[in-house]
Amino acid sequence: ARIVLLPGDGIGPEVTAQGRKVLEKVAKTFGHTFEFSTHAIGGNAIDDFGDPLPEATLTACRNSDAILLGAVGGPKWDDPNAKTRPEAGLLRIRKELGLFANLRPITAQECLIDASPLKREIVQGTDILFVRELTGGIYFGESGLTKNADGSETAFSTATYSTHEIERVVRIAAIAARQRSGHLTMVDKANVLEVSRLWRRVTERLIRAEFPDLKYDVVLVDAMAMHLISRPSTFDVVVTSNLFGDILTDEGSMLPGSMGLLPSASIGSSGPGLYEPIHGSAPDIAGKGVANPLATILAAAMLLRHSLKLESEAKAVETAVDQVLAQGFRTRDIAPKGHPSIGTEEMGQQVLDALK
């Protein structure tokens, strides 16, 4: 299998290196051949090629089986008036590769619960799979800016969805729900938005026709922002549009007590998937060897599962991570006060050692 590595900016290269080592060990242990190639994306790609997603990167991605991304962005490229910004590379790769479903598991791990801003009894048992639509909605709809006669300006951004775009992402969520606890929640704002009313109709019809076995419910996005704090453990799979998913998955990422263990997968109906940690490029600790590589390693596990269909291999990586955590190994970001911590390399090595 061909795997493209997109280390990106900040701590991206450090954590991607550990992800690669784990994938190499998986290849060796289970007798697979993974070919790696590394390409530029984000801020460094702007610096070197004037483009956050250079043509060569996109071509390599198209010709690959899966992509492992580190992180993009940093203060150097943050000027809102800049001609091109790192995020543009992310948005474009999603669209170009048709990665319409973003899977974000949010699981409360016992070893981190006490670091959560929420009370233990609220977070305990939380195990949500968010499925966020990723190539439609207000992110990609028509937009514009008008200068009015009096010198004022009017801007607009349009949220658009079609039946097909809704169906394909809901189907992915519904299949996942079937493999989990069989509970699917769809989040919209159908009491106000026309585009949400279409989501509601299309989803209800699809679930009734193809997934009548699921427990299905709908929640308004404002209510969901509350429930996610007050009773997160009552959700299983949650599917929603691009913008609502952006907000809710980030809100949800606070629950486990650290983003350091949270991976994300962006997949389409065919072609390579894109896997990454949900944390950012953390420029403040870049190059110091202290970044937590576990989210990237868990993203590599998702890569094995979803793009390479190597379920046992994925499980093996996840089990190795669990074991390393159970043994008490912690990078700085997830170490309780007074607990000794290890660096990026060392954490990667521990996972390698635990991997069987």
Ligand X SMILES: CC(C)[C@H](C(=O)O)[C@@H](O)C(=O)O
Euclidean distance between CA atoms 43 and 61, whole angstroms? 18
Query: What six digits make up the tokens of 250?
Result: 């980030």
Contact flag: residue 222 with ligand X (CB under 6 A): yes
φ, ψ of residue 93 to 5 degrees: the values are -65, -35
- Of the listed pieces 9-17, 31-39, 246-254, 286-294, which binds a copy of itself according to CB under 8 A? 246-254
- By a kind-dependent CB cut-off of 5 to 8 A, residue 155 interacts, out of a copy of itself, ligand X, none, with a copy of itself
Site for ligand X in 25-54 (CB under 6 A): none
Element (H, E) at 164: helix 163-179
- By a kind-dependent CB cut-off of 5 to 8 A, residue 243 interacts, out of ligand X, a copy of itself, none, with a copy of itself
Query: Any binding-site annotation on 76?
Result: yes
Strands 143-147 and 263-267: unpaired
Euclidean distance between CA atoms 141 and 127, whole angstroms? 32
**Which residue, 244, 249, 274, is CA-closest to 100?**
274
Euclidean distance between CA atoms 41 and 44, whole angstroms? 7
Query: Any binding-site annotation on 132?
Result: yes
Q: Please select the residue that binds a copy of itself; options are 111, 175, 247, 285, rule is CB under 8 A.
A: 247
Query: Any binding-site annotation on 246?
Result: yes
Site for a copy of itself in 170-199 (CB under 8 A): 189-198
Neighbouring residues of 149: CB distance < 8 A, sequence distance ≥ 6:
none
Contact flag: residue 91 with ligand X (CB under 6 A): yes
Measured CA to CA in angstroms, residue 91 lies from 49, 65, 113, 221, 273 at distances of 18, 20, 33, 23, 14
Pick between residue 82 and residue 192 the one whose CB is nearest to ligand X.
192
Element (H, E) at 57: helix 55-62
Least Å from the CB of residue 318 to a copy of itself:
25
| Alpha-carbon Rg for the chain in angstroms | 20
Sign of CA dihedral 25, 28, 32, 36: positive
User: Is there a contact between 132 and 126 (Cβ–Cβ < 8 Å)?
Assistant: no
- Of the listed pieces 31-39, 75-83, 84-92, 176-184, which binds ligand X according to CB under 6 A? 84-92
**Which residue, 245, 221, 209, is CA-closest to 100?**
245
Least Å from the CB of residue 65 to a copy of itself:
29
Contact flag: residue 226 with ligand X (CB under 6 A): no
Query: What six digits make up the tokens of 65?
Result: 């089986």
x/- mask, ligand X, residues 155-194, rule CB under 6 A, reads: ------------------------------------xx--
Contact flag: residue 250 with a copy of itself (CB under 8 A): yes
x/- mask, a copy of itself, residues 85-104, rule CB under 8 A, reads: x-x---x-------------
Element (H, E) at 318: helix 311-326
- Of the listed pieces 27-35, 85-93, 313-321, 339-347, which binds ligand X according to CB under 6 A? 85-93
Site for a copy of itself in 100-129 (CB under 8 A): 116-119, 122
Tell the residue number behind the tokens 């984000």, with chain if given. 42
Q: Please select the residue that binds a copy of itself; options are 141, 182, 283, 343, rule is CB under 8 A.
A: 141
Residues in contact with ligand X by CB under 6 A are 87, 90-91, 191-192, 222, 246
Q: What is the contact surface with a copy of itself in residues (CB under 8 A)?
A: 80, 85, 87, 91, 116-119, 122, 138-139, 141, 143-145, 148, 152-164, 189-198, 200, 202, 221-223, 225-226, 228-230, 243-244, 246-251, 253-254
